[in-house]
Amino acid sequence: MQNRTLKSRLLATPHLVWSAIFVVVPLVMVVYYSLTGAEGSFTLDNIKQIPKYFDTFLLSIWLGLLATAISLLLAYPLAYFISQSKFNVQQTMITLVMLPMWMNFLLRTYSWMTILENNGIINTILTSIGLQPLHLINTRGAVVLGMVYDFIPYMILPIYSVMVKLDRSLIEACEDLGGNKVDVFRRVIMPNSTSGVISGVTMVFVPSVSTFYISQKLGGTNTLLIGDVIESQFMTSNNYHMGAALSLILMVLILVCLAVMNHFSGEDDIEQGRLAV
Amino acid sequence: MKRKRSVLMPVYAVLILVFLYAPILVLVVYSFNAANSTAQLHGFSLKWYRELFHDAATLDAFRNTMILAVSSSLISGVLGTVSAVGIFKMKNKWVKNVTRGVTNIPMMNPDIVTGISMMLLFVFAGRMLGRTGVLGFPTMLIAHITFCLPYVILSVLPKLRQTDVNLSEAAQDLGCTPIQSFFKVVLPAILPGVLTGVMIAFTLSLDDFVISYFVSGPTSQTLPIRIFAMTKKRVTPDMYALSTIMFFAILFLLIIINYIQMRGEKKQIEKVKY
What is the C-alpha separation between B239 and B169, in angstroms, rounded? 54
Contact (CB<8Å) A207/B111? yes
pLDDT band at B218 (very low <50, low <70, confident <90, very high): confident
Nearest CB neighbour to B120, from listed A20, A26, A251: A26
Residue B67 CB contacts under 8 Å (≥ 6 apart), including other chains? none
More confident residue, B29 or B270: B29
Contact (CB<8Å) A22/B110? no
What is the C-alpha separation between B203 and B208, in angstroms, rounded? 8
Residues of A in contact with B17 (CB under 8 A): 96
What is the C-alpha separation between A106 and B233, in angstroms, rounded? 13
Residues of A in contact with B102 (CB under 8 A): 16, 19-20, 23-24
Enumerate domains of chain A plus CATH numbers.
53-276 (1.10.3720.10)
Per-residue DSSP letters for B179-235? HHHIIIIIHHHHHHHHHHHHHHHHHHHHH--HHHHHH--TT---HHHHHHHHHHS--
User: In this structure, what is the dihedral angle of CA atoms A273, A276, B3, B4, given to the nearest 10 degrees?
Assistant: -10
Contact (CB<8Å) B228/A106? yes
Residues of B in contact with A101 (CB under 8 A): 203, 207
Contact (CB<8Å) B250/A102? yes
Strands (E), chain A: none
Q: Which residue of B has its CA nearest to A99?
A: B251
Note down pLDDT in tens along chain A; length 277 residues.
Answer: 445 555 677 888 889 999 999 999 999 999 999 999 888 888 898 999 999 999 999 999 999 999 999 999 999 999 999 998 888 889 889 989 988 888 888 989 989 988 998 888 898 889 889 888 888 889 999 999 999 999 999 999 999 999 988 888 888 888 888 888 888 888 888 888 888 999 999 999 999 999 999 999 999 888 899 999 999 999 999 899 999 999 999 999 998 888 887 777 754 444 333 333 2
What is the C-alpha separation between B182 and A266, in angstroms, rounded? 42
Write the class of the CATH domain B54-243: mainly alpha
Residues of B in contact with A10 (CB under 8 A): 86
Give the pLDDT score at B268: 66
Q: Which residue of B has its CA nearest to A26?
A: B117
What is the C-alpha separation between A230 and A236, in angstroms, rounded? 10
Residue A182 CB contacts under 8 Å (≥ 6 apart), including other chains? none
Give the pLDDT score at A276: 33
Are the beta carbons of B207 and A101 closer than 8 angstroms? yes
Query: B57-68 as b/e, with b when 16 or more CB fall inside 10 Å?
Result: ebeebbebbeeb
Q: Tens digit of pLDDT for each residue in B149-201?
A: 999 999 999 899 888 878 888 888 888 888 888 888 889 889 989 998 999 89
Are the beta carbons of B116 and A30 closer than 8 angstroms? yes
pLDDT band at B274 (very low <50, low <70, confident <90, very high): low
Residues of B in contact with A16 (CB under 8 A): 83, 99, 102
Contact (CB<8Å) B108/A206? yes
Give the pLDDT score at B39: 64
> What mean pLDDT is predicted for residues B121-130?
91
In sign, the C-alpha dihedral spanning A106, A109, A115, A120 is: negative
> What mean pLDDT is predicted for residues B81-92?
89
Contact (CB<8Å) A78/B13? yes
Lowest mean pLDDT among A208-217, B1-10, B127-136, B241-250: B1-10
pLDDT band at B120 (very low <50, low <70, confident <90, very high): very high
What is the ipTM score, two decimals? 0.87
